Amino acid sequence: MAAVGTWSFSRPAVERMMSMLLAGQNATDVVETAMSEVEDDVDTGRHIVGRGGYPNFKGVVECDAAIMEGLPGRFGAVAALRGIAQPCRVARKVMDRSPHSLLVGEGAESFAQELGFIPEPNENMLSDHTSTAYQVQSDNTFESCCIFKKFPNTRKNIIYNFYGQILLKTLFCVFLYIFPKEFLEKNKSVVSGHDTLGLIALDLGGNITVGASTSGAPFKSPGRVGDSPLPGCGLYADHTVGAAAATGDGDKIMCYCPSFHVVQLMRQGSSPNEACQAVLADIQRRISGDTCFEVGLIALNIKGEVGAASSVEFPYTFWKQGMGSVEKLVLNQASSDTSKNDLFTH
């Protein structure tokens, strides 16, 4: 039995998984339960997960989540889901109850409603922190690119103000659609935390399940989907080998399918740590010496061995049978110092 999660804020989830695994519960229920508790906690929303997550550039929270068992064909995901604070639970229903594997947007919301989930107003999905952050970036960006000065609403200026502001806002939305990355770079100061909660659980019966959940890139274009709900990209599992999850810049991560790659290397005999390190090195080689984008990887094999690698400083949490409590391990930036991590891979 073992459990691992991305980033320091996963610790309560991994502690929950530890207690459930020791109680004999199966890996899928363990991942779903632990993840949904984090998703529904408004205080962890600033880590770009579930309730309290950052909205898109129109102020609406859209969540992505996925769950994958090690057994062949057992996968379910939702993307751009609005009004549901626990998208992982809907992803589980997609896996168990839908003939499809991935549902998005209105289709995902309709499916959730059919199964008894009640969508909440968008204001319930925002926290004070993320609502304020959205207002700050919206005001700053709108004012900084303002080419129409709004005049007092005299009869003479009403038409100018009305149509000028409509034109400006339309141009602003077009700008964000075409240049979302530049917009995010400009507004990093109002965003804190890291994106994507990734959890992997190995139960007493040898079943392994991985889950991923995120509210996505802060102030993203509506409908944008990153790597998290995509099999092979944000997560992957095989009951004969193990599982892996990724976190970081989802728009870049999805181009490399790192989770699938990690599991394939473990299939070929690599330890989880060796596999994660090799995949990170491959990505760095393929981008031809440019500064690597943010990517963190975690992996767990069916022996209960854990591994990780990252292009940035990357804390993650881990527990395995025989340990008295959950441990937090930290990889150093770029070098992915594994001196401590190696203690937990055998």
Q: Is residue 191 a contact partner of residue 54, using CB atoms and an 8 Å limit?
A: yes
Give me the catalytic one of 28, 44, 141, 196: 196
C-alpha 148/C-alpha 142 separation (Å) is: 11
How many C-beta atoms surround the C-beta of residue 225 within 10 A?
A: 23
Tokens of 275: 């596999």
CB neighbour list of residue 142: distance below 8 Å, 6 or more residues apart:
168, 169, 172
Q: Which residues pair with 25 in a beta bridge?
A: none
Please report, as a single letter, which amino acid is at residue 180. Answer: P
CB neighbour list of residue 131: distance below 8 Å, 6 or more residues apart:
123
Tokens of 64: 């992505």
Of 222, 248, 245, nearest to 311 by C-alpha is 248
Query: Tokens 């959940």, residue?
Result: 213
Of 8, 58, 5, 15, nearest to 192 by C-alpha is 8
Residue 322: Cβ-neighbour burial (10 angstroms; 0-12, 13-18, 19+): exposed
C-alpha 119/C-alpha 131 separation (Å) is: 19
In terms of DSSP bridges, do strands 62-69 and 327-331 run parallel, antiparallel, or are they unpaired? unpaired
User: Is-catalytic flag, 196?
Assistant: yes
CB neighbour list of residue 170: distance below 8 Å, 6 or more residues apart:
none
Distance of CA 191 to the CA centre of its chain: 15
Catalytic site positions: 196
